[in-house]
Amino acid sequence: MTQKRQLAGDLRISDTGNQVVLKGWVQKRRDLGGLIFIDLRDRSGVVQAVFSPAKNESALKIAESVRSEYVIEVRGDVVKRDESTINDKMATGDIEVLVEEVYVLNEAKNPPFTVLDGEDVSEDVRLKYRYLDLRRESMQQTFKLRHQASQVMRSFLNDEGYLEMETPMLTKSTPEGARDYLVPSRVHQGHFYALPQSPQLFKQLIMVAGFERYFQFARCFRDEDLRADRQPEFTQIDIETSFMSEEEIMAMTERMMQRVMKEVKGVELTLPLPRLTYDDAMSRYGSDKPDTRFGLELVDLSDVVENAGFKVFKDAVTNGGKVSAINVQGFADAFSRKDIDKLTEFVKIYGAKGLAWLKVTEGELTGPIAKFFDADEQAAIKTTLEAKDNDLLLFIADKTAVVYDSLGALRQKIAKDLDLVDETAFNFLWVTDWPLLEYDKDLGRYFAAHHPFTLPQKQDIDKLHTAPEEVKASAYDLVLNGFELGGGSLRIYKKDLQEKMFEVLGFTKEEANEQFAFLMQALEYGAPPHGGIALGFDRLVMLLAGKTNLRDTILFPKTASASDPLTNAPGTVSEQQLDELHLAFKVKNTEGS
């Protein structure tokens, strides 16, 4: 057949009368009244091919031999279906192809699962036969979306004058990050490359090199224990720019998200995006990545209850903690005591000692702790929480961190249980004014909350040594529907401030200049003010595609133990390969090698 191939899913009623050549997979075969019907699938979709003895006996004969997932080529005429057989659910449902000629291009064994969406298959089997799993319609759609999103963002960044640049994968292990994946050097005995956790330092060098606007869809690696939303390798949209303010970088990012949302999802995003300071996010949502698709905000009642008769509340405030509550409006009658007991168990996961509650019934607060509050206090509670009849009020009194963690988790659980989340919404928001440093009690020192290159806010620089915990960073995170999409910051661009920062982190000047030698040196040769952002591309695709598992957005992902059931990576290697790398396996429980 020398005729040009057409795509099955693109055929329409207007093609009626045309002869077409199609190539693709057998989705389903049905034998009916001496005829054979095959749903023929290619990358564009599915069309029905009909084999009849009247049209071609030998083609029918061949069709009898094909099974699901065979690869075939057919030539035939596009014809209108009988009214009675029109299928409204298929884009090609009002036509079919009457086959004159058919070739089997390749056979297929009976697949371990059907390639149709909806069949419940264990993830191990899906990953082992990933090439079959990926044939499913929903997987095909996800990777088309992934492609489209990357093209839209690339095109946006190109339009704004950003250059796509590639930083090395074989780099050097540096302190202060997560665990590196290492690559032993054959040439330099005893030396290792590290796979990058992010191109952070390279993108800063690109700024020092004067390119001003850089981006990359960067593969990054972290050898950490994996969770559902983590992979050992992942892709981030990595952006860095010189001479731009925090506001300008955020505005650029917003325009990019606006374009992606419009072109990929058809959703109009209103700019500027909402913002919360880190402190507000914590006190209102108990989370630094709040999901604002539903209410159930935390309300601080410390002032209201600190002098009340309820000792638990009073003590929490007196001991420097706080009392906050959420109002589950209109659902008091939906929660039995037993239900509330379950919520109490739930908040204990987050360290809360207990969960106090009140209901509003005919204007009155009811429940076991109601008696501890006098009329004024009850009125104040109701006013502060805007409580009305049939509202359920849930209180945590504890250390501030515990209050935030437990109520933050509780509001998400309740929203999910009560189906309060608008699943069609895309709620973006910025979280700003992050703390620069976090204190690690176990190690007895400060760590960078983002990374050690983050610029402190100007007004706080003097506090670096005197009150490090109060210093805010010029940093911003972009949150979507309760997920951290990514974050960025302005960077330190003067050597003395970078030295000071390392000092706070416990490095001597000598250590800093040795371990971050090339950065420290680069800052001496005309480094411009710069900053940037990095967004998790896999996660963005997950949210745009409406998926809940990161593995559904990565073509060939790893399992939770960082292995690949398809290729069986990682694998063993030969003695010779180890020899060339000057390496040996450490024998367990013996003294060295």
Q: Could you tell me the smallest distance in angstroms from the CB atom of residue 191 to a second copy?
A: 4
Comparing CB distances to a second copy, the nearer of 89 and 588 is 588
Q: 537-544 and 137-159 are packed helices; what angle lies between their axes, rounded to 10 degrees?
A: 120
Which is nearest to 291 in space by CA: 60, 480, 440? 480
Comparing CB distances to a second copy, the nearer of 420 and 583 is 583
User: Does 17 help bind a second copy (rule: CB under 8 A)?
Assistant: no
Using alpha carbons only, give the angle 345, 346, 352 rounded to the nearest 5 degrees.
80
Q: Could you tell me the smallest distance in angstroms from the CB atom of residue 509 to a second copy?
A: 17
Window 119-158: contact mask with a second copy (x via CB under 8 A):
----------xxxxxxx----x--xx-xx--xx--xx--x
Out of 30, 179, 311, 445, point to the residue binding a second copy (CB under 8 A).
179
243 is in an annotated binding site: no
User: Does 474 help bind a second copy (rule: CB under 8 A)?
Assistant: no
Q: Could you tell me the smallest distance in angstroms from the CB atom of residue 177 to a second copy?
A: 12
537 is in an annotated binding site: yes
User: Does 390 help bind a second copy (rule: CB under 8 A)?
Assistant: no
Kindly report the length of the chain. 593
Q: What is the distance between the alpha carbons of residues 339 and 341, in angstroms, rounded to a whole number?
A: 5
Residues 411-430 that bind a second copy (CB under 8 A): none
Comparing CB distances to a second copy, the nearer of 84 and 593 is 593
Residues 565-584 that bind a second copy (CB under 8 A): 566-573, 577-584
Name the 3-class secondary structure at 52: coil
Comparing CB distances to a second copy, the nearer of 236 and 406 is 236
User: Does 520 help bind a second copy (rule: CB under 8 A)?
Assistant: no
Residues 228-287 that bind a second copy (CB under 8 A): 232-233, 235, 242-243
231 is in an annotated binding site: yes
Residue 20: partners with Cβ closer than 8 Å, 6 or more residues away: 3, 6, 11, 75, 76, 77, 78, 97
In angstroms, the first-to-last Cα distance of the chain is: 66
Number of residues that bind a second copy (CB under 8 A): 121
Comparing CB distances to a second copy, the nearer of 159 and 386 is 159
Q: Could you tell me the smallest distance in angstroms from the CB atom of residue 572 to a second copy?
A: 6
> What token pair was written down for 301?
């009642």
Name the 3-class secondary structure at 459: helix
Half-sphere exposure of 153 (CA within 13 A, CB side): 27
Candidates 176-184, 257-265, 316-324, 353-361 — which segment interacts with a second copy by CB under 8 A? 176-184
Radius of gyration for the chain, computed over Cα atoms and rounded to the nearest angstrom: 30
Q: What is the distance between the alpha carbons of residues 512 and 506, in angstroms, rounded to a whole number?
A: 9
The answer to whether the beta carbons of residues 558 and 234 sit under 8 Å apart is no
Query: What are φ and ψ of residue 446, in 5° steps?
Result: -80, 145
Residues 42-71 that bind a second copy (CB under 8 A): 42-43, 69-71
The answer to whether the beta carbons of residues 92 and 108 sit under 8 Å apart is no
Comparing CB distances to a second copy, the nearer of 186 and 445 is 186
Q: Could you tell me the smallest distance in angstroms from the CB atom of residue 258 to a second copy?
A: 21
Out of 8, 38, 56, 181, point to the residue binding a second copy (CB under 8 A).
181
The answer to whether the beta carbons of residues 204 and 453 sit under 8 Å apart is yes
Distances (CA, A) of 564 to 221, 229, 352, 422, 557: 16, 16, 39, 35, 7
Residue type, 381: I
The answer to whether the beta carbons of residues 193 and 246 sit under 8 Å apart is no
236 is in an annotated binding site: no
Residues 90-119 that bind a second copy (CB under 8 A): 105-109, 111
| Positions at the binding site for L-aspartate | 176, 222, 450, 491
| Bind-site residues | 176, 222-224, 231, 450, 484, 491, 536-539
Q: Output the known binding site for ATP.
A: 222-224, 231, 484, 536-539
